[in-house]
Amino acid sequence: MASSSGVQIPGRLPLLLTHDGVLLPGSTVRVSVDTGRNMQLVKSRLLKGTSLKSTIIGVIPNTRDPEQEADELPTLHSIGTAGLAVQVVGSNWPKPHYTLLITGLCRFRVAQLLKERPFVVAEVEQLDQLEQYMDTDQGELGELSQRFYQAAVQLVGMLDMSVPVVAKLRKLLDSLPRDTLPDILASMIRTTNKEKLQVLDAVDLEERFKKTLPLITRQIEGLKLLQNTRKLRPDDNKKVGTPFKTHFSLEEEGDEEDVDDTSLLERKVKGANMPEPALRVCLKELKRLKKMPQSMPEYALTRNYLELMAELPWSKSTSDCLDIRAARVLLDNDHYAMEKLKRRVLEYLAVRQLKSTLKGPILCFVGPPGVGKTSVGRSIARTLGREFHRIALGGVCDQSDIRGHRRTYVGSMPGRIINGLKTVGVNNPVFLLDEVDKLGKSLQGDPAAALLEVLDPEQNHSFTDHYLNVSFDLSQVLFIATANTTATIPPALLDRMEVLQVPGYTQEEKVEIAHRHLIPHQLEQHGLTPQQLQIPQHTTQEIISRYTREAGVRSLERKIGAVCRAVAVKVAEGHKISKPDPSGPQHGPEEAGDRERTGEEAYRDTDMTAPPEMPIVIDSVALKDILGPPVFEMEVSERLTLPGVAIGLAWTPLGGEIMFVEASRMEGEGQLTLTGQLGDVMKESAHLAISWLRSNAKLYQLTNIAGSQDPLEGTDVHLHFPAGAVTKDGPSAGVTIVTCLASLFSGRLVRSDVAMTGEITLRGLVLPVGGIKDKVLAAHRAGLKRIIIPKRNEKDLEEIPIHVRADLDFVAASSLDEVLNAAFDGGFAATTAPVTHPQVSSKL
């Protein structure tokens, strides 16, 4: 208890804006601090202050929603209470906040705001000069004071005097100055914040008595009504002894704080605009929370649940940017190529213009690593003007990560979908489900099965998280999944998504991407400018063809980063070198000689050279000094110098690859040996190829070592697929195996510029295969000129860029006769049938 008589407060006070009560002079309250300005005040003033004055702050009631305070300063109440912070307690759960125990000293009026950031500081005028009211026994003021004192004594007398707090209060009524009683009792009895605010505004003591006396009278009448009611239970009679809260008991102050917090939470829940079923559940939980002591473990769980429900964006959404021209420009600036993906986004925007209630599509970008699947998802969100949230699913093996835990478990929490919605704060964001093909499965359930409800447009309007236990509408969310392959995605989940293939880039596209995006980004990352480093296009092409072999551009960016680091060393050392001494040795010839030495020797001697001239242009010699010898050499023609070698095309999750198939024969018992980590399907293709060649050996004049018409008679054949550490499987190597064995048995060389793919049958038909675009791009990267594909795969050539098709000759074969004729110079004619010339085209 503190009297304000003789109190002199500083002329400048930091202001604490409170939302959960009104501090009156002479009372003590607990205040929860969690907003930005208030947190800064506590850290800068109360926690670091050492003098008594540093713990005196101004407390201003604020009726505005606390969530809005961070944006702008609300209109302040003109009158506040100077208070002494006697205790500061900090906590990080459920979020960072402080709890202050503040004792009111006196009233003040805000004269002028001095600053608003990082916390509010104002020049104040002290209002309570209570020395002039010490004589309250004369005139109307004396009558009011006496009536108020008698009412206070009557109120306390109706309470249970056996309670220590009540007995202490009765003694204080006689010892305290009567001019302090209105503020003290108004803070103790049950009143609304509005009524307390009226008492705070009553600067005149006579007016203060008039404002407070009806409140005391109302409390007395309420107690009389309770005492006259015979239907009270014994438990209720105990409550009559303590009808109001008092600042003498810290526990009761905590209860009051809880009441105010619960009221604030109830307002948040009602203002969240949630659907009726969810609101009913929240109100039911609120009733339970009000009856629950804070010491119960379930109290924190229930409160966290209600806070989450209030924070979820049930009806908050962003407006889509439907300007198709602006969207097209933004997508083109962010990503080169990827025409199919861009077209799909523009189609979505066009339909949204015609139908505003369109559900969000479920897209799945499938392609090798490094082609920009994740970054294009972020670009789509920016194009639409929506919030973006990425959920990494790689390695997730618990369905609770998707659907959340039930609240009966200790440490339960919502799933990643609901957490993501809480993070972005709107109900129509762009969600990127990254690496959906790498989901696991364990005893805790199958997360891929849990995603079925999330990614089904017919079901996700009522998605139920186990933690929430009420449905949430996900139909406006734009889901984008990414994967390297669809082989590991469950069929039911794949069926719910619109799959868009994102193939690898051609060499020309990589050059454009490097000069538009990668090189400027790496220059910025390494503190360089175009005036210091230049990488010509021919150098970029050399990096792509001789130092990287990938579908995407990640390795390319790393190589460019290595070049930037090497140049950064030169630039940094050049800045530290002083002007050369004219009398010293001249270093011009040594600088020229750096190109002749290894990169390591050149760097070791840079401290003896002059600063490099700007800009530094990277040519082939400098590239070799920095990156070392080329990693990939064009070895195609060298490996096809003997019969029994052919080039096939393979598809991998990392993109297309060329694959050499080698065969050799020796005297034996007609056995076929297969090596190279082959799967069952590829082994069967090898047996099919042997059987077809043996059945057509006479037709094509194929012989064994001894000249017999049966190629396997007295001969063993060994078929090998290099890169033996890599597992290989699939039917598309059938035509390559046939060509390789035909070359072995005939003694003729396969053309060194031809690659092929296709499945075979026992009758010699060529069946279609997948991954044509990736395979063709791999052949183009390797410098091959003729590609043999199944006739029924001609339609897939439409997806290949025009400049790639112009560089290649495509042979569409429907039978092995046509494959062999295209694979060998001069054809591979049969003796009993005319040569069939397959269709050769460079314009497919």
CA angle (180, 184, 188) in 5-degree steps: 165
CB of 44 within 8 A of CB of 118?
yes
Per-position b or e across 615-634, b if 16+ CB within 10 A of its CB = ebebeeebbbbbbeeeeeee
* Dist. CA 209–CA 194, nearest whole Å: 16
CB of 35 within 8 A of CB of 95?
no
- Active-site residue, 775 included: yes
CB of 369 within 8 A of CB of 383?
no
State the helix-helix crossing angle for 680-695 and 734-746, rounded to 10 degrees: 40
- For residue 790, give the 3-state DSSP assignment: strand
The one catalytic residue among 211, 245, 342, 775: 775
Beta strands in 278-361 (DSSP E): none
CB of 796 within 8 A of CB of 770?
no
Please state, as a whole number, how many other Cβ atoms lie within 10 Å of the Cβ of residue 752: 16
Confirm whether residue 367 is marked as ligand binding. Answer: yes
* Dist. CA 407–CA 465, nearest whole Å: 11
Give CA 361 to chain center in angstroms: 19
Please state, as a whole number, how many other Cβ atoms lie within 10 Å of the Cβ of residue 831: 8
Token pair of 800 as six digits: 């290949």
* Dist. CA 544–CA 539, nearest whole Å: 9
Q: Residue 654: what are its φ and ψ, rounded to 5°? A: -90, 5
The one catalytic residue among 732, 743, 746, 814: 732
Confirm whether residue 374 is marked as ligand binding. Answer: yes
* Dist. CA 534–CA 76, nearest whole Å: 59
Q: Residue 479: what are its φ and ψ, rounded to 5°? A: -90, 130
Measured over the CA atoms of residue 297, residue 302, residue 303 and residue 305, the dihedral's sign is positive
> What residue has token string 């209570």?
130
The secondary element (H helix, E strand) that includes residue 789 is strand 786-790
* Dist. CA 64–CA 528, nearest whole Å: 50
Cis peptide before 615 (omega within 30 of 0): yes
Q: Which of 439, 447, 450, 443 is nearest to 394 (CA)?
A: 439
Cis peptide before 94 (omega within 30 of 0): yes
Measured over the CA atoms of residue 156, residue 159, residue 162 and residue 164, the dihedral's sign is negative
Please state, as a whole number, how many other Cβ atoms lie within 10 Å of the Cβ of residue 588: 10
Q: Which of 769, 777, 784, 755 is nearest to 503 (CA)?
A: 777
C-alpha count within 13 angstroms, C-beta hemisphere, residue 577: 18
- Active-site residue, 843 included: no
Q: Which of 775, 675, 757, 782 is nearest to 724 (CA)?
A: 675
Per-position b or e across 142-154, b if 16+ CB within 10 A of its CB = eebbeebeebbee
Please provide the DSSP assignment of 197-257 as one string: HHHHH--SHHHHHHHHHHHHHHHHHHHHHHHH-TT--HHHHHHHT--S--TT-HHHHHHHH
Q: How far is CA 541 from each of CA 428, 508, 511, 523, 560, rounded to the nearest angstrom?
A: 42, 8, 6, 18, 12
* Dist. CA 327–CA 280, nearest whole Å: 42
> What residue has token string 């072995």?
744
Confirm whether residue 371 is marked as ligand binding. Answer: yes
Q: Which residues are annotated as a binding site for ATP?
A: 367-374
Which residues carry out catalysis?
732, 775
Q: Which residues are annotated as a binding site?
A: 367-374
